[in-house]
Amino acid sequence: MIISMDLELKDIPGQLVHALIPLSDLGANIMSVIHHHDQPTPSGSIPVQVVIQLTNGRLDDIITDLEKNDIRVVRVGKKRLYEEVTVILIGHIVHNDMSDTIDQIDNTGFAEVVSISISMPGINEPSSASLVINAENKNKLIEAMNILKKVAKKKELLVIEPIEN
Amino acid sequence: MKTIRLSIIGFGAVGQGVARVLRIKRDYLVRSGIDILVVAVTDSRGACIDQNGLDLKVVLQRKKESGTVATSNTSSLDVIKNTDHDLVIEATPTDIETGEPGSTHIFESFQHGRHVVTSNKGPLALQYKRLYNEAKKNGVMFRFEATVGGAMPILNLAQDILAGNRIISIEGILNGTCNYILSRMAEESLSYKHVLGEAQELGIAETDPTYDVEGIDTACKLVILANAIFGMDVAYNDVEVTGITNITSEALFLANVEKKVIRLIGEVEDGNKKIIRVAPRLVPKQHPLAVGGTLNVALLKTDIAGPICINGRGAGSIETASAILSDIIAICRKNT
Ligand SMILES: NC(=O)c1ccc[n+]([C@@H]2O[C@H](COP(=O)([O-])OP(=O)(O)OC[C@H]3O[C@@H](n4cnc5c(N)ncnc54)[C@H](OP(=O)(O)O)[C@@H]3O)[C@@H](O)[C@H]2O)c1
């Protein structure tokens, strides 16, 4: 799970360490820290944004520990999946068990279809759909894409992938 | 100043473009120390030959009026074998199944010690290595800039101008017909069928558009790039090809919502991945590959120069002749 947190630290030396230690002690992988030293809040504390990766769900413990250290946790946003791709499918998408296509991605546990828009011009005409897929990281995203391509091939759907970057 | 004697084999859009360009550029060439004498021109019905040099204006006129250049029924192969000259411009139709008549023309030219410049993709897409080796064996030059990207100088860019760089990958739009169709469908929310018909009327698509819209043309060009630039040994059958015939205007609409366009992209990548494929792809509108109309574009990733992108006209009589002219000049410079 990838989590972003907005914290507020007192403007005294050593506060950032107080914030980061409970994170790493509880097994979080710190992915990024942005320290807004130049933008203090009206009350004079310093906003800090951290993004962490947490493999076991101990978010509550982390928050408790942070607050024990006198650090205010302003906002916690869960963003479990980090890499995103949009693809377009063309073909008889709906008649070919659409939910199965989505399940095959969602069942991986590391990727999921987060949004889908379908355009169906007529009963016997091919539909078009754009799918947004999220995954834990780049490699998992490639893996998810490979699953999608395999399913699409079986169902005779055309997959339009993005160019690489 | 040394005189280079050449023949033009095949006198359609490209062959005639070459004749026109040689006329327009005559003074320029002479000033550059290059004197070109066209000693033979052929089409499917015969040849005209003059060892003292043909008047290209007369040849163009005759082709226009009578439909052929022929003043004798000498075949192209006869000209290649028996007319004394240095350089053969091979501009007969591309046949992706047999490579003929181009392959025979080119092999015979090499065996008679003549350099070859061609715009014909067939022979190259089918047996690049054999042609390359045969040219080498006979100590002659073989250049084919016009086969990929029309006026766009992609082969010479990668091989000469970017000398010292390793080309990591090339991605691009190498077929103007497909690009026109996809751009138009998106801009006007029209169906594939409708825009194809329109393109045929405008002469942008052939009566039988299969070769373009099924991605075959792009695949042939990728094979040429893969062999010539990446030193691979691949043929048409090694390419994974998907064309644009199933693209819907709804798909283009959905792409547009994401600020993207759909383009038929050819992609070659060397190294451990070894990709060579043609497929419709989503391209961000701001991306350099997102060109519209009949334009072609190529993005080369290199190890020291970084990414390099070129675009230009991928077809047309004069435009293709520009690429042929640059090859002729390169050969003249090496051989005078
Ligand atoms: N047009 C372009 O923009 C473009 C761009 C890049 C590459 N190319 C390639 O360049 C080549 C020529 O294209 P094009 O557009 O000029 O084609 P084209 O207009 O169809 O002309 C082909 C010419 O070859 C002649 N020909 C056919 N069979 C022959 C044979 N057995 N021996 C001698 N001549 C023969 C034809 O004779 P007749 O005149 O008697 O029919 C015609 O003059 C093709 O391989 C094409 O793929 C074309």
Band of residue A31 on the pLDDT scale cut at 50, 70, 90: confident
Q: Count other C-beta atoms under 10 Å from residue A28's C-beta.
A: 23
User: What pLDDT is stored for residue A81 in this prediction?
Assistant: 63
Nearest to B178 by CA among B273, B97, B76, B262: B262
Give the closest residue (by CA) to ligand 1 atom 42. Answer: B12
Angstrom distance (rounded) from CA B166 to CA B159: 10
List, for residues B190-208, the tens digit of each pLDDT value: 999 999 999 999 999 999 9
- Which residues, judged by CB distance below 6 Å to any ligand atom, belong to the binding site of ligand 1? B 9-15, 42-45, 68, 76, 91-94, 101, 119-121, 146, 150, 315-316, 320
List, for residues B30-51, the tens digit of each pLDDT value: 999 999 999 999 999 999 999 9
Angstrom distance (rounded) from CA A38 to CA A47: 9
Angstrom distance (rounded) from CA A160 to CA B46: 47
Angstrom distance (rounded) from CA B11 to CA B76: 11
Angstrom distance (rounded) from CA B230 to CA A37: 51
Nearest to A9 by CA among A42, A38, A35: A35
Contacts of A92 (CB under 8 A, 6+ apart): A126, A127, A155, A156, A157
Angstrom distance (rounded) from CA A55 to CA B241: 41
Q: What are phi and psi of A114, to 5 degrees?
A: -100, -20
Side chain identity at residue A82, one-letter code = Y
User: What pLDDT is stored for residue A57 in this prediction?
Assistant: 61
In chain A, positions 82-141, which contact chain B (CB-CB < 8 Å)? Answer: 86-88, 90-91, 117, 119, 121, 126-130
Question: Regarding the domain with residue range B2-150+317-334, which homologous superfamily does it belong to in the CATH classification?
Answer: NAD(P)-binding Rossmann-like Domain (3.40.50.720)
Q: A128 - beta bridge partners?
A: A90, A119
Q: What residue in A sits closest to B251 (Cα-Cα)? A: A128
**How many percent of chain B have pLDDT more than 90?**
97
Buried b (16+ CB within 10 A) or exposed e, A126-150: bbbbbbebbbbeeebbebbbebbee
Beta carbons of B8 and B80 less than 8 angstroms apart: no
Does pLDDT of A22 surpass 90? no
> Which helix (H) or strand (E) segment is B159 a member of?
none
Band of residue A56 on the pLDDT scale cut at 50, 70, 90: low
User: What pLDDT is stored for residue A12 in this prediction?
Assistant: 85
DSSP state of B160: I
Q: What is the CATH number of domain B165-313?
A: 3.30.360.10
Chain B residues touching A87 at Cβ < 8 A:
282
DSSP A60-124: HHHHHHHHHTT-EEEEEEE----EEEEEEEEESTTTTTHHHHHHHHHTTSSEEEEEEEEE---TT
User: What pLDDT is stored for residue B231 in this prediction?
Assistant: 92
List, for residues A70-96, the tens digit of each pLDDT value: 889 988 887 666 788 999 999 998 888
Global confidence as pTM: 0.85
Angstrom distance (rounded) from CA B282 to CA B179: 13
Give the closest residue (by CA) to ligand 1 atom 5. Answer: B315
Q: Encoding tokens for residue B244?
A: 């644009």
User: What pLDDT is stored for residue A2 in this prediction?
Assistant: 73
> Which helix (H) or strand (E) segment is A1 a member of?
none
Q: Encoding tokens for residue A26?
A: 């509880």
User: What pLDDT is stored for residue B251 in this prediction?
Assistant: 97
Band of residue A38 on the pLDDT scale cut at 50, 70, 90: confident
The number of the ligand 1 atom at minimal distance from the alpha carbon of B100 is 31
Angstrom distance (rounded) from CA A137 to CA A131: 17
List, for residues B83-103, the tens digit of each pLDDT value: 999 999 999 999 999 999 999
List, for residues B222-251, the tens digit of each pLDDT value: 999 999 999 999 999 999 999 999 999 999
Q: What are phi and psi of B158, to 5 degrees?
A: -70, -40
* N-terminal to C-terminal alpha carbon distance within chain B: 8
Band of residue A62 on the pLDDT scale cut at 50, 70, 90: confident
What domains does chain A contain, in order, with CATH numbers?
A: 2-78 (3.30.70.260), 83-160 (3.30.70.260)
Q: Which of A57-61, A104-108, B321-325, B332-336 has the highest mean pLDDT?
A: B321-325
- Note the maximum CA span of chain A: 68
User: What pLDDT is stored for residue B52 in this prediction?
Assistant: 96
Give the mutation candidate from B170, B249, B269, B282 for the A interface (greatest A CB count, under 10 A).
B282
Distance from CA of A163 to the nearest CA of B (A): 6
* N-terminal to C-terminal alpha carbon distance within chain A: 25
- List the domain boundaries for chain B: 2-150+317-334, 165-313
Q: Encoding tokens for residue B254?
A: 């959905």
Q: Encoding tokens for residue B253?
A: 């609409």
List, for residues A106-159, the tens digit of each pLDDT value: 998 888 898 899 998 888 889 999 999 988 888 999 999 999 999 999 999 999
User: What pLDDT is stored for residue B204 in this prediction?
Assistant: 93
Would you say the CATH fold of B165-313 matches that of B2-150+317-334?
no
Band of residue A30 on the pLDDT scale cut at 50, 70, 90: confident
Q: What are phi and psi of A153, to 5 degrees?
A: -65, -45
Band of residue B277 on the pLDDT scale cut at 50, 70, 90: very high
Q: What is the ipTM of this complex?
A: 0.88
Q: What residue in A sits closest to B262 (Cα-Cα)? A: A160
Does pLDDT of B291 surpass 70? yes
**Dihedral over alpha carbons B225, B227, B232, B238 (to 10 degrees):** 80
Band of residue A55 on the pLDDT scale cut at 50, 70, 90: low
Band of residue B121 on the pLDDT scale cut at 50, 70, 90: very high
User: What pLDDT is stored for residue B270 in this prediction?
Assistant: 85
For residue B21, the CA-to-ligand 1 centroid distance in Å is 17
Place of tokens 């390793």: B166
Contacts of A76 (CB under 8 A, 6+ apart): A3, A4, A5, A59, A63
CA distance readout (Å), B153 to A82, B35, B230: 40, 23, 16
List, for residues B296-311, the tens digit of each pLDDT value: 999 999 999 999 999 9
